[in-house]
Amino acid sequence: MNIDAVDFASLLCSRLCHDLLSPVAALSNGLELLAEETEPEMRQQCLDLLADSCRATVNKLKFFRLAFGAAGGFGELVDSSEVQAAIDGLFAGNARLTLGWMVEEPRLSKPAMKVLLNLALIGGDALIRGGRLDIGVERGPAAIEIVVRATGDRVGLDPAIRASLLGNPPQDALISRLGPALLARAIAAQHHGAIQIAETAPAHLLLGAVLRD
């Protein structure tokens, strides 16, 4: 995988901007409606819209700060509860998605955290009609294993994302949605690990990662 560092950073920034556009646009629309509306009930609906959009924006920023950025404090470990809260917040507005958290480790290394978050993001995106997203972590004697399982009526993994996870991104079509896959793959490779993918179309997708100490 030979991708220029600037292009890599640009992909992640583009993904962040893409995901924030919808809630921020809803904020703008809500403010416009509020400025024009005089009826109390309609004004309350505008305020509710603004509150929902603010919450969605904050949740996405918290998630991407951990998944893409240098968040998590100055130590090498991050509380698992913080990681779980970030995932819960990201998918809070999706009533069709159920989350399962099977992580007994009280703390995760920052590399493991980033791989987990990015695989969770990919798994959630693959649940086209909603479903269940299960997230698990198991620590062995010399490695940590991360598993994200997506189950639903229709589960689809973009071929370009699949190729990027496996280290063969399409050089002629680098687009923002590939950012999380490229980052997860790069971190796994840095830690002498790899990404595994298992699909049972159209209802199941299993994403796994191994990071060695």
Domain positions in the chain are 5-212
Q: Quick one: tokens of 60?
A: 């996405």
Q: What is the pLDDT of residue 29?
A: 83
Q: What is the pLDDT of residue 73?
A: 53
> What CATH superfamily is the domain 5-212?
Histidine kinase-like ATPase, C-terminal domain (3.30.565.10)
Residue 160 to residue 146: CA distance in whole angstroms: 21
Q: Enter the pTM of the model.
A: 0.89
Nearest Cα to Cα of residue 201 among 162, 148, 151, 134: 151
Mean pLDDT for the stretch of residues 124-153: 94
Q: Is the N-terminal amide bond of 202 cis, ω within 30° of 0?
A: yes
What's the Cα-to-Cα distance from 69 to each of 50, 73, 111, rounded to whole Å?
Answer: 26, 11, 11
CB atoms within 10 A of CB 72: 19
Q: What is the pLDDT of residue 75?
A: 62
Mean pLDDT for the stretch of residues 79-83: 95
**Phi, psi angles (nearest 5°) of residue 64:** -65, -30
Q: Please, what sign has the CA dihedral across residues 93, 94, 98, 100?
A: negative
- Higher-pLDDT residue of 34, 208: 208
Give the lowest-confidence range in 51-55, 104-108, 189-193: 51-55
Residue 74 to residue 61: CA distance in whole angstroms: 19
- Mean pLDDT score of the chain: 89
Among residues of the chain, what percentage have pLDDT more than 90? 56
Q: What is the pLDDT of residue 90?
A: 94
Confidence of residue 1 (pLDDT cuts 50, 70, 90): low
Mean pLDDT for the stretch of residues 192-212: 91
What's the Cα-to-Cα distance from 105 to each of 83, 113, 115, 144, 149, rounded to whole Å?
Answer: 11, 11, 15, 10, 18
Q: What is the pLDDT of residue 8?
A: 81
Confidence of residue 2 (pLDDT cuts 50, 70, 90): low
86 pLDDT higher than 90: yes
Confidence of residue 89 (pLDDT cuts 50, 70, 90): very high
CA 10 to chain centre: 17
pLDDT tens-digit series, residues 145-192: 999 999 999 999 999 999 999 988 887 667 778 899 999 999 999 999
Mean pLDDT for the stretch of residues 102-116: 95
Mean pLDDT for the stretch of residues 38-66: 88
Q: What is the pLDDT of residue 195?
A: 96
